[in-house]
Amino acid sequence: MKNSSRYTVAIHVLTLLAYCGSEPVTSEFIAGSVNTNPVVIRRLLANLRAAKLVSSQGGPGGGWQLLKAAKQITLREVLAAVDGGSIFPMHSSDPNPRCPVGRAIQVVLEGHFKSAQLALEKDLQRTTIAALVESVKSTS
Amino acid sequence: MKNSSRYTVAIHVLTLLAYCGSEPVTSEFIAGSVNTNPVVIRRLLANLRAAKLVSSQGGPGGGWQLLKAAKQITLREVLAAVDGGSIFPMHSSDPNPRCPVGRAIQVVLEGHFKSAQLALEKDLQRTTIAALVESVKSTS
DNA sequence: CCTATGCGTAACAACATTAGTTACAGAAAA
DNA sequence: TTTTCTGTAACTAATGTTGTTACGCATAGG
């Protein structure tokens, strides 16, 4: 995941929101659970809001809430929300087009990479935020 | 993939070695195909050698060769060779153990992450370097 | 209308990772 | 012995990630 913890933190936050029920939760409170800065949380949640997973409310009593039922949110959509593109980065500078392998390798790999990523996503789709809440509760 | 092109380049290099047959190929030649510096290639190939995928030979006429038949090398082993650990990084600093969610989330996620990564690897296992060589040759 | 609260975002710093480069020691073939 | 390679350390530059401060703006509640 791009060597970043954004995906893990996003799942953590959504699980926390589901765990807290329907009450709005502030970014400061969330940051306390994740152990980071509220701004980091707000930046991440802005992505999840763009994906229609959460909503935000300003002012006193405001905060963040799930926009979909926890049972309807899968780890697959969370991944798509925080890390849009491909799991496998291509060459940083394009390979040599005068080499037969260099010329073709990216096109050839693209299909295999997409297939592998699809397999990954299919597996992630099996898990919902609601399931994680249950697991968290039973991990007493 | 850690936001690095190492995996893609590794596949490129192995495909090139297979494409070139049994002749040793120098890191300079490989770098010409990948469009990078020979030292970058040697560093990467050092990993693949540690995984027993290639061998190196110094001196004139030396270079790099496959140590296994291209048909026996799958994209799964290549991934393991260049990027040992987990696809999904956990929190950069540990979550708050005084929060029920923060306390449990990592343990809960670990299983789901491993399952997803296994699905990914199972798919990558279906493709061999030999198959890539064929695809490259037919992409004329 | 005022105030406190909380989001939205820009700007910046600190740090880690990636990629590229130079340099040089050492092994091996001819 | 010379040439051709690998093996690696050291350094730079570019980029990405994370954390932090600061401040504008909207809103709820008196």
Instruction: State the pLDDT at residue A140.
Output: 76
Minimal-distance CA residue of chain A relative to B32: A96
ipTM above 0.85, yes or no: yes
Give the number of beta-carbon pairs within 8 Å between A and B.
170
Would you say the C-beta of B45 is within 7 Å of strand D?
A: yes
Topology (CATH level 3) of domain A6-86+127-138: Arc Repressor Mutant, subunit A (1.10.10)
pLDDT tens digits for range A86-139: 999 999 999 999 999 999 999 999 999 999 999 999 999 999 999 999 999 999
Residues of A in contact with B12 (CB under 8 A): 91, 95, 101-102, 105
Name which of A68-72, B19-23, B82-86 the model is least confident about: B82-86
Residue A105 three-state SS: helix
Beta strand A54-57 pairing with A63-66: antiparallel
Q: pLDDT-based confidence at A2, cuts 50/70/90?
A: confident
Burial of B73 from C-beta contacts in 10 A (0-12 / 13-18 / 19+): buried
Could you identify the residue written with the tokens 């010329």? A103
Residue of B107, B126, B136 to mutate, interface with A, max A Cβ within 10 Å = B136
Would you say the C-beta of B89 is within 7 Å of strand C?
A: no
**CATH class as words, domain B6-85+127-138:** mainly alpha
pLDDT tens digits for range B32-71: 999 999 999 999 999 999 999 999 999 999 999 999 999 9
Which stretch of DSSP H or E encloses residue B124? helix B100-124
Share of chain B above pLDDT 70, in %: 100
